[in-house]
Structures are given as C-alpha cells and as structure tokens.
C-alpha cells in the first residue's frame, strides 16, 4: 500500500506559541485515519499546514511523490524557534499554495463552516468544479464551453445527490440546518475530485441521528470515490467505529498512535482527556 | 420561462428600448436635457457596471476608475484626431508624433486595451498582497496618471495640459447605447460563466475559494483587468460625448460619483448599476440643477440654494444610503424576465437553478 500523505518533523510556531511540535504522521492509500486530541491541541493547525494555509516553521509535508511544503526557521524565527530538527530541512524551501494543493488532489472541509454565503447549495458545489476546467475566460464568457458547462452542472448535481441534498439545491447555503451545511461542505470538497479528503470535525453541530449516519456515509463515499480519509473528530464513538488508525496529539505533540482498541486503552491518552475534563 | 420565449421577449425589449431612444431624440431634439441624460447615463452605466464587476462581484475595492477612464479617453482622442487637424490641435508640439488616425470603433477597442494594460501593470505587484492595498494603489495610480499625462515632455503624444479636440464624436444617443449595451452584455456573460462564479466565490470567502482550487491572484487580476478594459471603453465614450478631453476633468471625485452609483444601485447587481446611473445623471444634470441656482421668490432669496449645494445634497444622500439602505435599490438581485414572470404568476422560486 502506498503512502498518500507524509508529514515529517513538522513544527508550526506562531511567535512564541508552538502550536505543532515536531509532528510526524502518515496516511496510506485507502485508509480512514483520525486525528484526535483535546481542544487547542493543534489539530486544525495541522490541517492548515497540510492544505497550504500555513507554512510550517520547520519540517516537510509530501503528498504522494510531491513535496508540498518544506521549510526551516528563517529570519526572526531563527532566534525564536523552540522546536526540534532546526538543521534538518535546510536548503530550498517549498510552499505550494492552497489552490495548487487542491488541484493535486487534497480537499478539505472547515471546522467553522465556510460556505459561500450569498450562493445556493447548488452554486456552492458548482464553484468547486471550476478547478478542473478546460475553458479560458474568452471561451467561457462567450459560452463556447457549453459541453463543459453541462458537465460541471451534472457533476455538481451528482455530488449534491451523493450527500442527500438534491432537494435543497436551490436553497441559500447558509439557510440550511447545521448538519446539512456540513454535508454540503463535503459535497463541495468531493466536487474537486480529491484523492485525499480532510474532514475537520464533520460531526460538530450534527444531531445524534445525523452523527450515527455520518460514519456509514464516510465509508460509502470513501469506497465510491476511492478516497483516503483523514479526519479530525471529537465524537469518540464515530472515531472508534470507522478509523483504521488514530493519531492522538496534545499540546501539538503526538502522544499516541495505533488502532482504535490500542489507543482507547493507552494511559497517556486517558490522562490527556481526563486532564481536560478536570479543567 | 422557456429559453426561446425569453430570447424573443429579450430581443423585443432591446428593440423597443432603441426605438424609444430614437423617438425621444426625434421628439425632444438632440440638444435637449433628455438626450443629454440618455447619452451620459448610458456611458456611466457601462462604467458603473465595470466597477461593480470588481467591487460587487469580486469583492476587490478599487478607487482608480477615473484613472482608467482617463487612459481610455486619451487613447481614443490621440488616435482618432484626423491627420489634417493635428497641426492645429498639437500646435505647441509641431503636430505631435502620431500622424495617422484609426477608425472610431477600433480606437474605442484600443482605449480599452491600453487601460487594461495599465491595470495589469498596477495589478501584477499589488494583487499578490492583501486586497486592501488595491484601493490605495489604484487611487495613487489615478492621481499619478493625471499628472503624468500633462507632463510637458509627453506633449508630442498627449498634448501636455492642452485640450485634445476635433476627434470624431457621435451625433445620436443610439451610439453610446449600442456600445454600452454590447459591453454590459459581455460583462453579464462573464459574470454568468464559470469565471464569474469563481469571482463571486472569492468575494464571499477567499480562504474557502482557495481551498476549492481557485487561484486568487489570477482571478483577481482577470477581474481587475477586464473591469479596467471597460472603464477605458467608457472613457472613450465620455471623450466622444464631451467633444474635448483634458486630464484635469478626471478627478477622483469622478470615481466617487461612480462608486455612489454602484452603491445606490446595489453592490453585485448589474441592473441596479444601470438604473442608478440614469437616475444619478438625471438628478445631477437635470432634476436637481435648481439646487445650484440662487433663486428668489418675490424678493426673498430661497435659503441654501447656491452653487455647490447640489454636492451637499448628494453627500447627504450617500450617507443616507450607506446608513439606512445599505443594499441599494436592487441589493444583489437582478431585474430579469424570469423574475418578472415569477412576480406576475405569483410562483415562488423553487428547486435548482440547474438548467
Ligand atoms: N493563526 C494563529 N496565530 C496564533 N496562534 C494560533 C493560530 N492558529 C492556531 N493558533 C494556536 O494554536 C493552538 C492550536 O489551535 P488549533 O485550532 O489547531 O486547535 P485544535 O486542536 O483544532 O482545537 P479544537 O478542538 O478546539 O478545534 C491554539 O493554542 C491556537 O491558539
Ligand atoms: Mg480545530
């Protein structure tokens, strides 16, 4: 099985705050991997590094054979840097922009839902087909690309059907209930035709029934679109149910890794979560 | 509504519009206030729509519209003054360096192209930065270009600070209507294309748009360059309307007028910009003229009415719009045949807009 995503020695430091500390992870093709940890552990920050929103302070991230980020502390960060391996990734820095990374095949959803608010559910998904266009501004403006336009619309509608929102296609995206907005974000991500899907707390805001259905749904789209899934989630039932492997991080550092059963009984994990509960 | 009926009704409406303009010109006379408003209104409609493409549809704030209009106006004038008249126009510069003339329509297109080229020059460095810098950069560009064009050393090309004149103009309001109409139609087609949708996505949420694989820089530059192209075309039309061109007329207050039109019409509504343009021009050129005229009723002077008061009223209107009516006349809705049909049949919009 080949590795789809490899995160190597990544540290992300904001000023003096080390949000991710020397984190290494990998996700293999066809896996469902979960990333869990208490609030503020650095999970979303890890996703932001992978998708190019942030440039890691140090370390390397590769998608398949392609290095999408590689950097070492520079400038003011040289003095401030508090992480490890400061000398390991010298040399040319690599930073692909988020749109390039999406075009390579990594799509994501956002923890704090980011739908295009003035647009309908259908239009939200339709926009996500733009990146695979073959038209240029001239042919598109003159509507010479009718075949492509039809394909885009069909694909968008198909994705809406996939997540069960076909009936709400004409509704304003932000007028949908929370759980449906989450599913719309998934439809939008799928429309970019990804190989790797990053889900940031897909169950947040869903009611218990929706959460129950989500697990089966993630499995279903994984099989149907031959995806690899990397997911941040707080609902332990869901995580334990569908994950092949789990990474647990706390204060930006990995504290455990393994199959659901191993992780559940890991004392460090229990301590990290209990620590949070005691707050 | 079926596509074929829509096309038929649309064609009829456009024909009726042009017939109406033609008739108005016949009845009211070519020099009437009505025709002035129609001509200038059509030109401003194009410029406002071009600004709306950027501000309303892409969420980029530019304050350089007057600068790009200036570039367009000068380009048009410089390349259409008949060779025989150049000696008289460029009297301080031995007839200038351009010694040929382009056909009017070609020069209008060139006006757009040159304005677009300047926009690319401004946009290439600036649009990689945060969007806020664009407003400052374009405002600066508009001020600088106005000064540069009057620079004496450029006189052989631009005639320095002297007027450009005797270039071909139009003698019927149908001309600006036709040119502006075609341009606005093209902008509408762009907005409804996949590129237009990408621009709207950037407006709504840059981070999400980028996560959907949309190259922010490229699409912002595209929108900015196209917007400036049409501002340049609008500038050429304005030059034709005025009959003479001088850089000092293209002050930033002109940009603010257009911004006002866009805001009154509704950010993100093309039809709103068009309606607001005619409304604005009618008010400023015609209906509110009396505000600037000292008026006596008997021997009592009506208070406040004197030169400049019109602008005070305008400023108050802007503030009122911004404070109480932020979405403008149309909001981001459009005036469309479908919408009218729906209104008449009382049907609610439902289901996908997927065709
Ligand atoms: N842009 C930023 N600038 C400064 N600090 C940041 C930034 N982004 C994240 N952080 C910090 O990094 C830490 C990790 O935040 P992150 O959002 O990744 O946590 P998380 O694991 O996703 O938490 P949650 O479960 O609440 O979503 C936090 O302390 C946060 O304040
Ligand atoms: Mg988070």
* pLDDT tens-digit map of B270-287: 998 999 999 888 887 777
**Gap between the Cα atoms of B339 and A179, Å rounded:** 31
Q: Is the pLDDT of residue B347 over 80?
A: no
What strand order describes the sheet that includes A66-71? A17-28, A3-14, A58-63, A66-71, A94-95
DSSP letter (8 states) at residue B141: H
Q: Is residue B150 part of a domain?
A: yes
Q: Is residue B266 part of a domain?
A: no
In DSSP terms, A253 is beta-bridged to A250
Residues of A in contact with B355 (CB under 8 A): 153
| The CA-based dihedral angle spanning residues B52, B58, B63, B67, taken in that order and rounded to the nearest 10 degrees | -80
Contact B353 A122 (CB under 8 A): yes
pTM: 0.90
Chain B's closest residue to A129, CA to CA, is B212
Whether A42 is in the pocket of ligand 1, judged by its Cβ within 6 Å, is yes
Q: Is the pLDDT of residue B30 over 80?
A: no
**Gap between the Cα atoms of A46 and A30, Å rounded:** 20
CB B236 within 8 A of CB B75: yes
Residue A278 backbone phi and psi in degrees, to 5: -75, -20
**Nearest in space to B236 (alpha carbons), one of B176, B187, B281:** B176
Q: Is residue B52 part of a domain?
A: yes
Closest CA–CA distance from residue B261 to any residue of chain A (Å): 22
CB B142 within 8 A of CB B66: yes
**Gap between the Cα atoms of A245 and A254, Å rounded:** 14
Write the residue in B212, B216, B332 that is nearest to A127 by C-beta. B212
CB A233 within 8 A of CB A226: no
pLDDT given for residue B344 in this prediction: 67
Neighbour tally for B297: CB within 10 Å: 7
Q: Is the pLDDT of residue A147 over 60?
A: yes
Average pLDDT over residues B258-272: 89
Ligand nearest to the CA of A39: 1
Q: Is residue B67 part of a domain?
A: yes
Q: Is B198 on the interface with A (CB under 8 A)?
A: yes
Share of chain B above pLDDT 70, in %: 93
Interface test with B, best of A95, A104, A130 (most B CBs within 10 A): A130
Average pLDDT over residues A61-70: 96
Tokens representing B305 are 């009415």
Contact A103 B352 (CB under 8 A): no
Q: Is residue B301 part of a domain?
A: no
Residues of B in contact with A143 (CB under 8 A): 189, 193
Q: Is residue B298 part of a domain?
A: no
Q: Report in angstroms the alpha-carbon separations of A266 from A36, A239, A246, B62.
A: 13, 15, 12, 57
Q: Is the pLDDT of residue A278 over 50?
A: no
A interface with B, Cβ–Cβ below 8 Å: 51, 53, 97-99, 102-103, 107-108, 110, 114-120, 122-123, 126-133, 135, 137, 140-143, 145, 148-149, 152-153, 156-157, 166, 169-170, 188, 192
CB B72 within 8 A of CB B233: yes
Q: Is B3 on the interface with A (CB under 8 A)?
A: no
Whether A41 is in the pocket of ligand 1, judged by its Cβ within 6 Å, is yes
**Gap between the Cα atoms of B163 and B93, Å rounded:** 13
Q: How far is the CA of A21 from the centre of ligand 1 (A)?
A: 12
User: What ipTM was predicted for this assembly?
Assistant: 0.93
Three-class HEC string of chain A: CCEEEEEEEEEEEECCEEEEEEEEEEEECCCEEEEECCCCCCHHHHHHHHCCCCCCCEEEEEECCEEEEEECCCCCHHHHCCCCCCCCCCCCCEECCHHHHHHHCEEECCCCCCCCCCCEHHHHHHHCCHHHCCCCHHHHHCCCCHHHHHHHHHHHHHHHHHCCCHHHCCCEHHHCCHHHHHHHHHHHHHHCCCCEEEEECCCCCCCHHHHHHHHHHHHHHHHHCCCEEEEECCCHHHHHHHCCEEEEEECCEEEEEECHHHHHCCHHHHHHHHHHHHC
pLDDT given for residue A254 in this prediction: 95
CB A98 within 8 A of CB A53: yes
Q: Is the pLDDT of residue B137 over 70?
A: yes
**Gap between the Cα atoms of B296 and B76, Å rounded:** 44
**Gap between the Cα atoms of B133 and B217, Å rounded:** 13
Whether A50 is in the pocket of ligand 1, judged by its Cβ within 6 Å, is no
pLDDT in tens, A166-225: 999 999 999 999 999 999 999 999 999 999 999 999 999 888 899 989 999 999 999 999
Domain map of chain A by residue range? Answer: 1-105+195-279, 117-193
Q: Is the pLDDT of residue B100 over 80?
A: yes
> Which CATH number is A1-105+195-279 given?
3.40.50.300
Q: Is the pLDDT of residue B317 over 80?
A: no
pLDDT in tens, A6-28: 999 999 999 889 999 999 999 99
Contact B197 A114 (CB under 8 A): no
pLDDT grade for A152, boundaries at 50, 70 and 90: very high
Does residue B165 sit in helix, strand or coil? Answer: strand
Q: Is B194 on the interface with A (CB under 8 A)?
A: yes
Contact B213 A97 (CB under 8 A): no
Comparison of pLDDT for B213 and B152, the residue scoring more: B213
**Gap between the Cα atoms of B39 and B16, Å rounded:** 17
Q: In chain B, at which residue ranges do the beta strands (DSSP E only) sit?
A: 164-165, 244-245, 296-297, 300-301
Average pLDDT over residues B336-346: 68
Whole domain around residue B19: which residue ranges?
3-252
Half-sphere exposure of A155 (CA within 13 A, CB side): 23
**Gap between the Cα atoms of B338 and B342, Å rounded:** 6
Whether A83 is in the pocket of ligand 1, judged by its Cβ within 6 Å, is no
Structural domain count of chain B: 1
**Gap between the Cα atoms of A132 and A193, Å rounded:** 9
Instruction: Report the mean per-residue pLDDT for chain B.
Output: 86
**Gap between the Cα atoms of A48 and A50, Å rounded:** 5
Whether A164 is in the pocket of ligand 1, judged by its Cβ within 6 Å, is no
CB B17 within 8 A of CB B45: no
In DSSP terms, A155 is beta-bridged to none
Contact B213 A108 (CB under 8 A): no
Residues of B in contact with A122 (CB under 8 A): 352-354
Average pLDDT over residues A127-135: 95
Q: Is residue B308 part of a domain?
A: no
pLDDT in tens, B167-200: 999 988 899 999 999 999 999 999 999 999 999 9
Q: How far does CA B102 lie from the centroid of its chain? A: 23
């Amino acid at each position: 099985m080949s590795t789809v995503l490899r995160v190597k020695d990544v540290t992300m430091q904001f000023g003096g705050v080390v949000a991710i500390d020397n984190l290494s992870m990998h996700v293999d093709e066809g896996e469902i991997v979960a990333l869990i940890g208490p609030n503020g552990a650095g999970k979303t920050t890890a996703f932001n590094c992978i998708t190019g929103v942030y440039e890691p302070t140090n370390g390397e991230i590769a998608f398949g054979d392609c290095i999408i980020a590689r950097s070492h502390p520079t400038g003011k960060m040289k003095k401030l840097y508090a992480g490890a391996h400061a000398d390991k990734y010298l040399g040319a820095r690599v930073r692909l922009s988020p749109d390039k990374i999406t075009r390579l095949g990594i799509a994501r959803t956002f923890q704090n839902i980011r739908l295009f608010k003035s647009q309908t559910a259908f239009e939200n998904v339709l926009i996500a087909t733009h990146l695979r266009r073959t038209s240029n501004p001239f042919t598109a403006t003159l509507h010479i690309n009718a075949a492509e336009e039809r394909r885009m619309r069909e694909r968008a509608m198909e994705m809406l059907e996939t997540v069960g929102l076909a009936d709400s296609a004409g509704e304003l995206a932000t007028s949908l209930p929370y759980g449906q907005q989450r599913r719309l974000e998934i439809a939008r991500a799928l429309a970019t035709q990804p190989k790797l899907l990053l889900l940031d707390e897909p169950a947040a805001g869903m009611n218990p029934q929706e959460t129950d259905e989500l697990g089966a749904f993630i499995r279903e789209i994984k099989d149907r679109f031959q995806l690899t899934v990397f997911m941040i989630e707080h609902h332990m039932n869901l995580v334990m149910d569908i994950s092949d492997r789990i990474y647990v991080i706390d204060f930006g550092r990995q504290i455990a890794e393994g199959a659901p059963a191993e992780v559940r009984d890991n004392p460090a994990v229990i301590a990290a979560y209990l620590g949070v509960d005691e707050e | 509504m079926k596509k074929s009926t829509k096309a038929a009704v649309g064609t009829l409406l456009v024909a009726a519009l042009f017939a109406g303009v033609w008739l108005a010109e016949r009845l009211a006379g070519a020099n009437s206030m009505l025709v002035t408003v129609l001509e200038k209104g059509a030109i401003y409609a194009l410029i406002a729509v071009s600004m709306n493409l950027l501000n309303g549809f892409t969420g980029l704030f530019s304050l350089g519209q007057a600068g790009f209009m200036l570039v367009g106006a000068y380009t048009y004038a410089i390349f259409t003054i008949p060779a025989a008249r150049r000696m008289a126009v460029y009297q301080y510069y031995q007839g200038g360096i351009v010694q040929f003339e382009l056909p009017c329509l070609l020069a209008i297109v060139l006006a757009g192209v040159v304005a677009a080229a300047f926009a690319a020059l401004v946009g290439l460095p600036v649009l990689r930065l945060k969007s806020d810098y664009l407003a400052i950069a374009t405002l600066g560009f508009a001020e600088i270009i106005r000064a540069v064009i009057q620079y004496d050393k450029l006189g052989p090309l631009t005639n320095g600070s002297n007027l450009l004149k005797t270039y071909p103009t139009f003698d019927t309001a149908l001309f600006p209507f036709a040119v502006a109409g075609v341009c606005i139609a093209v902008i509408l087609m762009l907005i409804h294309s996949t590129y237009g949708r990408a621009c709207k996505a950037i407006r709504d949420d840059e981070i999400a748009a980028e996560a959907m694989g949309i190259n922010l820089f490229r699409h912002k530059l595209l929108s900015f360059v196209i917007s400036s192209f049409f501002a340049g075309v609008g500038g050429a039309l304005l030059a034709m309307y005025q009959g003479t061109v001088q850089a000092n007329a293209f002050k930033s207050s002109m940009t603010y007028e257009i911004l006002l039109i866009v805001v009154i019409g509704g950010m993100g509504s093309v039809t709103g910009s068009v309606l607001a343009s005619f409304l604005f021009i009618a008010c400023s050129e015609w209906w509110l003229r009396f505000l600037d005229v000292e008026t006596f009723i008997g021997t009592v002077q009506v208070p406040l009415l004197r030169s400049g008061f019109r602008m005070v009223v305008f400023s108050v209107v802007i503030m009122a719009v911004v404070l109480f009516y932020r979405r403008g006349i149309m909001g981001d809705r459009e005036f469309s045949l479908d919408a009218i049909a729906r209104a008449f049949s009382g049907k609610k919009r439902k289901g996908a807009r997927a065709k």
